[in-house]
Structure 1
Amino acid sequence: MAQSMSLFREYIGNYIKTKLTYRADFWVEVISDLMFSAMNLIFIFVVFRQTPALGDWSEAEVVFVYGYFMIPYGIFSTFSNLWNFSDRYITKGEMDRILTRPAGSLTQVMLENVDPPSLIGSLVGIGIMIAAWLRLDLPFHWYDPLVLIVMALGSTLVYVGLYTALAAISFFSDAPTGIVPLIYNIQNYGRYPIQIYNRTIRFLLTWLLPFAFVGVYPASFFLVGHGGRAMAWLTPVVGAIVLALGLWVWRSGVKRYRGAGS
Structure 2
Amino acid sequence: MFYMSIFFQYMSQYIKTKLQYRTDLVVEFLSDLMFQGGNLIFILVVFGHTQLLNGWTRDEIIFIYGFFLIPFALFASFFNIWDFNERYIVRGEMDRVLTRPVHSLFQIVLERMELESLLGGITGFIVMGYAASRLDITFHWYDAILFVLFVLGGTFVYAGIFISLASISFWSDARSSIMPMMYNIGNYGRYPVDIYNRIIRYILTWILPFAFVGVYPSAYFLRKTEWYMYSFLTPVMGIVCFTLSLLLWNAGVKRYRGAGN
Q: TM-score, normalised by structure 2?
A: 0.97
Which residue in 1 is equivalent to 2:196?
A: 197
Segments of structure 1 that go 5 or more residues without pairing to the other structure are none
Q: CA deviation at 1:58?
A: 0.1
1:207-232 Cα distance to aligned partner (Å, 9 max, x none): 00000000100000011345221110
Residue type of the alignment partner of 1:205: L
Which residue in 2 is equivalent to 1:236?
A: 235
Q: 2:259 aligned with 1:260, yes or no? A: yes
> How many residues get paired?
261
1:61-108 Cα distance to aligned partner (Å, 9 max, x none): 000000000010001111111111111111111111100000000000
**Contact conserved, 2:74 with 2:117, CA < 8 A, in 1?**
yes
Which residue in 2 is equivalent to 1:223?
A: 222
Which residue in 2 is equivalent to 1:56?
A: 55
Question: Partners in 2 of 1:93 and 1:187 — Cα distance?
Answer: 29
Question: Partners in 2 of 1:21 and 1:223 — Cα distance?
Answer: 42
Q: 2:116 aligned with 1:146, yes or no? A: no
Question: Partners in 2 of 1:91 and 1:14 — Cα distance?
Answer: 27
Which residue in 1 is equivalent to 2:13?
A: 14
Residue type of the alignment partner of 1:174: D
Q: CA deviation at 1:21?
A: 2.1
Q: CA RMSD in A?
A: 1.0
Question: Which SS does the other structure have where 1:122 is aligned?
Answer: helix
Residue type of the alignment partner of 1:119: L
Q: 2:132 aligned with 1:128, yes or no? A: no
- State the percentage of identical aligned residues: 52
Question: Partners in 2 of 1:235 and 1:119 — Cα distance?
Answer: 21
1:121-171 Cα distance to aligned partner (Å, 9 max, x none): 111101111111110011221111111101001111101111110111111
Q: TM-score, normalised by structure 1?
A: 0.97
**Contact conserved, 2:153 with 2:237, CA < 8 A, in 1?**
yes
Question: Partners in 1 of 2:36 and 2:61 — Cα distance?
Answer: 14
**Contact conserved, 2:85 with 2:173, CA < 8 A, in 1?**
no
